[in-house]
Amino acid sequence: MKRFQNSSIHAALVTALAATAMTVSGCFSDSTEGTGELSVAVTDAPVEDATAVVVQFNGLRIHSAAGETRDFDFDEPRHIDLLALEGDASEQLLEDEEVTAGDYQWIEVKVQARQGQHDSWIEFEDGTEHSLYVPSGAESGLRLVSGFTVPVNGSADFTIDFDLRKSVHNPGASGLDYKLRPALRMVNNVEVGTLAGSVSSEWAADEECAGAVYVYDGHDADTGSLGSDDSPLTSASVSMNEDGDFTYEVGFLLAGEYTAAFTCEADEDDPEEASDIEFLQSANTEIEVDETTQLDFGPDS
């Protein structure tokens, strides 16, 4: 099994830069069909053993069903520590931007992650840092093709889940850059809720337990590892809060039915291949819009 680094995580996080102004360009003509407002934020499903995962964002690009493309380029690159965006936390990339109303085929997140450069990077507890790079190129457009609609005189508000547990790949040798192969999903913020709960200290307090809760689509779903055919939709790390309780939170889940499963072997889960990790408990759950569903794990749950 591959591991990222030492298992403990210290509190130092790289602070995301303040929001910057944007230069807007593209080939959109005046529309007789009206306009709407578009907002896009980014969040994270965390990775084990890192203290910071900082990614450089240069802007966004959208493409309409009519074949028109529009770019939103930041005046200055934004370096965002995705590990600071767990649970229902997010960082705004685009806010209330006026766009042509209608259907859109895709949205692209402009990320700069070059091999051997320090534009995007991962940091560990001992202070060591490694460059993150996207194998497809120095400046990559991370495209989501699920499509979306901006209503006339209305607003569309989305969050992109940047799943680091699936995205960051250990090079397997000391001193090499880490690969960033982003696993993204985009959700409509008016259709989501949150899953949260606690994990028994009998399990989570064990120093060898790298606790995480994996979430799968549908009730009674097959629970597999990251690299398996039954990969989770998303996940959340388990951590001790200020009261000494072990808790987790999974934000931005579309309303519907899910299976959630707890494992102590998240640090042994390799996203590049099927891993034989053990789930101590799984349970069906249901998410409702704007609600937090409570689901606890433990021998007596």
Per-residue model confidence (pLDDT) at position 137: 59
Q: Which residues partner with 140 through β-bridges?
A: 111
Three-state SS across the chain? CCCCCCCCCCCCCCCCCCCCCEEEEECCCCCCCCEEEEEEEEEEECCCCCCEEEEEEEEEEEEECCCCEEEEEEEEEEEEEHHHCCCCCCEEEEEEEEEECEEEEEEEEEEECCCCCCCCEEECCCCCEEEEECCCCCEEEEEECCCEEECCCCEEEEEEEEEHHHHEECCCCCCCCEEECCCEEEEEHHHEEEEEEEECHHHHCCCCCECEEEEEECCCCCCCCCCCCCCCCEEEECEECCCCCEEEEEEEEECEEEEEEEECEHHHCCCCCCCCCCEEEEEEEEECCCCEEECCECCCC
CATH fold label, 193-294: Immunoglobulin-like (2.60.40)
Domain definitions of the chain by residue range = 22-182, 193-294
Per-residue model confidence (pLDDT) at position 300: 85
At 45-94, the pLDDT tens digits run: 777 778 999 999 999 999 999 999 999 999 999 999 998 998 889 999 99
Flag the least confident range among 66-70, 119-123, 164-168, 242-246.
Answer: 164-168
Q: In one letter, which amino acid is 79? A: H
19 pLDDT more than 80: no
30 pLDDT more than 50: no
18 pLDDT more than 50: no
How is residue 201 written in tokens? 């200290």
Binned at pLDDT 50, 70 and 90, residue 139 comes out as low
At 262-290, the pLDDT tens digits run: 999 999 998 888 999 999 999 999 999 99
Binned at pLDDT 50, 70 and 90, residue 146 comes out as confident
In sequence order, which residues have a C-beta less than 8 Å from that of residue 106 and are 6 or more positions away? 62, 63, 143, 144, 145, 146, 147
2 pLDDT more than 70: no
In sequence order, which residues have a C-beta less than 8 Å from that of residue 29 and are 6 or more positions away? 68
Binned at pLDDT 50, 70 and 90, residue 173 comes out as low
